Amino acid sequence: MALKKFIPNFVTLLNLLCGSIAAIFAVHNNFIYAAIFVFLGIFFDFFDGLLARKLNVQSELGVQLDSLADMVTSGLVPGIVMYKLLLLSSDAPEIATVEEWNAPLDHYVPIVAFIGLFITLASGYRLAKFNIDDEQQTYFKGLPTPANALLIMSLPLIIEFQHQNWVTAIILNQWFLIFLTCLSCYLLNSNIKLLALKFKDFSFNKNKYRYILLALALTLLLILHFTAIPLIILIYILISLIDNLTTKA
């Protein structure tokens, strides 16, 4: 029994491990490997709660541990990446490559770059609110930190793999990054009710918006690859708003 109780917590610790490794890569400007480990961490984050429910071993320890792991994987790492992108935006290349990510940065750090760490602060505040909010069982209030992390981590991947000069110019525009940081902080702590991707059953009527979201997400990923991620987050918000309106009606 004791071993069964530890299984979900072990998966949560794998999330924390992945986030810690991602933070190291992000600090060294290797955004690609940082993104890989963030994605792995989010994968583990999805399954720890599922395992706890299936094994019927939910615990307060697991809830707190989950938030601590999310704080690193989906809070600290996106903040570091945004900080690094703001640094790059002061002298942005037309097309960024792995070599340019790994190029040493000047010792002078513009103050504006630290704005990126507001994402880390907003993530921590959101996670603390989530832990004391009993309402968020069937929906999320504000954008979940893993979704926000996917949004931020997609930016260097789009630059690296999509190779569109105009897209790179937009992403590495300092004002765009500042706007996205502010938008990210707002969405994390807004009162917008967003769909929780938890299936109590698999009937279409009760889960139609979840199925629509998943179908659109898979289609966009196949067509647009990493560029699809910001669009998927936008669609997620729009579908959630539609669900709220139809539920009230």
**How does pLDDT run across 78-97, given as a tens digit for each residue?**
999 999 999 988 764 444 45
The predicted pLDDT at position 204 comes to 66
The predicted pLDDT at position 1 comes to 54
The predicted pLDDT at position 137 comes to 60
Domain count, the chain: 2
Query: Same domain for 19 and 129?
Result: yes
Query: Same domain for 184 and 204?
Result: no
Query: Same domain for 186 and 202?
Result: no
**Model pTM?**
0.86
Query: Same domain for 101 and 129?
Result: yes
The predicted pLDDT at position 56 comes to 74
Query: Same domain for 148 and 211?
Result: no
Mark the ranges of the chain whose per-residue pLDDT is less than 50: 92-96
The predicted pLDDT at position 140 comes to 86
Query: Same domain for 172 and 57?
Result: yes
The predicted pLDDT at position 92 comes to 46
Domain extent at residue 225: 194-249
The predicted pLDDT at position 9 comes to 85
The CATH number given to whatever domain includes residue 87 is 1.20.120
| DSSP per-residue letters across the chain | -HHHHHHHHHHHHHHHHHHHHHHHHHHTT-HHHHHHHHHHHHHHHHHHHHHHHHTT---HHHHHHHHHHHIIIIIIHHHHHHHHHHHHHTT--SS--HHHHTSPPPS---GGGGGGGHHHHHHHHHHHHHHT-SSTTSEEES--HHHHHHHHHHHHHHHHHH--HHHHHHHT-HHHHHHHHHHHHHHHT---EEE----SS--HHHHHHHHHHHHHHHHHHHHHGGGHHHHHHHHHHHHHHHHHHHHH-
